[in-house]
């Protein structure tokens, strides 16, 4: 009986060594399984705690973004479909990195559509990877900590947080002034 217990404990411990790797790979598989990013990050907070869960989520989200980068280059129909969705939501304007970072915190905004916005903004694999890593840090941190402490949050607090993110997106927008050609080159009276 004692020998079986020792063997069971060793199996559990060996499985725990692979749990972070499985969790990171689950982030990559998430896009095929249609599971929201926030759910996976919150699960990381529940399973690994705030610090380790955040680190594993950042790694997983960055790998997921890199896989998307490769797939989008190979499947132009996917890219065209996401561009169509982006143009419906945001029009022809380009989002900046700060806006993308805040929009990634809103669970209802498509994660890979924002990755496409990053690809549009940052040309080249290296610049895209750096920007993707940077924009994933607040996302992973917030939802992992949120997942760790989710039992303590009230529905009112959740609504306040979502409203504050919406306000942040509005405040971080790029302000542009459009001057028509005729107004700019007015003939003197």
**pLDDT category of residue 91 using cuts at 50, 70 and 90:** confident
Q: Vertex 51, ends 47 and 56: CA angle to 5°?
A: 65
Q: 120 pLDDT exceeds 80?
A: yes
pTM over 0.85: no
Q: Give the pLDDT confidence of 62-81 residue by residue, as tens digits.
A: 999 999 888 888 888 888 88
The two tokens of residue 58 are: 């950042």
In angstroms, rounded to a whole number, what is the distance separating the alpha carbons of residues 161 and 156? 9
Q: 93 pLDDT exceeds 80?
A: no
* Whole-number pLDDT of residue 116: 84
Radius of gyration of the chain (CA): 21
User: Which residues, at least 6 apart from 112, have a Cβ–Cβ distance to it below 8 Å?
Assistant: 31, 68, 82
Q: 9 pLDDT exceeds 50?
A: no
Q: Vertex 59, ends 67 and 68: CA angle to 5°?
A: 15
User: Which residues, at least 6 apart from 57, have a Cβ–Cβ distance to it below 8 Å?
Assistant: 27, 40, 41, 44, 136, 139, 140, 143, 144
Residue 156: other Cβ atoms inside 10 A: 8
């Amino acid at each position: 009986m004692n020998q079986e217990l020792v063997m069971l404990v060793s199996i559990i411990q060996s499985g725990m060594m692979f749990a972070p790797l499985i969790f990171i790979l689950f982030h990559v598989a998430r896009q095929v399984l249609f599971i929201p990013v926030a759910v996976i990050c919150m699960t990381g907070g529940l399973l690994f705690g705030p610090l380790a869960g955040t680190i594993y989520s950042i790694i997983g989200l960055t790998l997921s973004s890199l896989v998307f980068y490769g797939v989008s280059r190979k499947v132009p129909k996917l890219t065209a479909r996401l561009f169509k969705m982006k143009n419906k939501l945001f029009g022809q304007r380009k989002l900046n990195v700060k806006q993308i970072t805040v929009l990634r915190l809103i669970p209802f905004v498509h994660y890979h559509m924002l990755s496409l916005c990053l690809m549009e903004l940052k040309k080249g694999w290296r610049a895209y990877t750096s920007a993707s890593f940077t924009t994933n840090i607040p996302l992973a941190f917030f939802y992992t900590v949120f997942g760790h402490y989710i039992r303590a949050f009230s529905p009112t607090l959740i609504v306040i947080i979502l409203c504050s993110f919406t306000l942040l997106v509005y405040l971080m927008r790029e302000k542009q002034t459009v001057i028509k050609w005729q107004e700019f080159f007015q003939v003197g009276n």
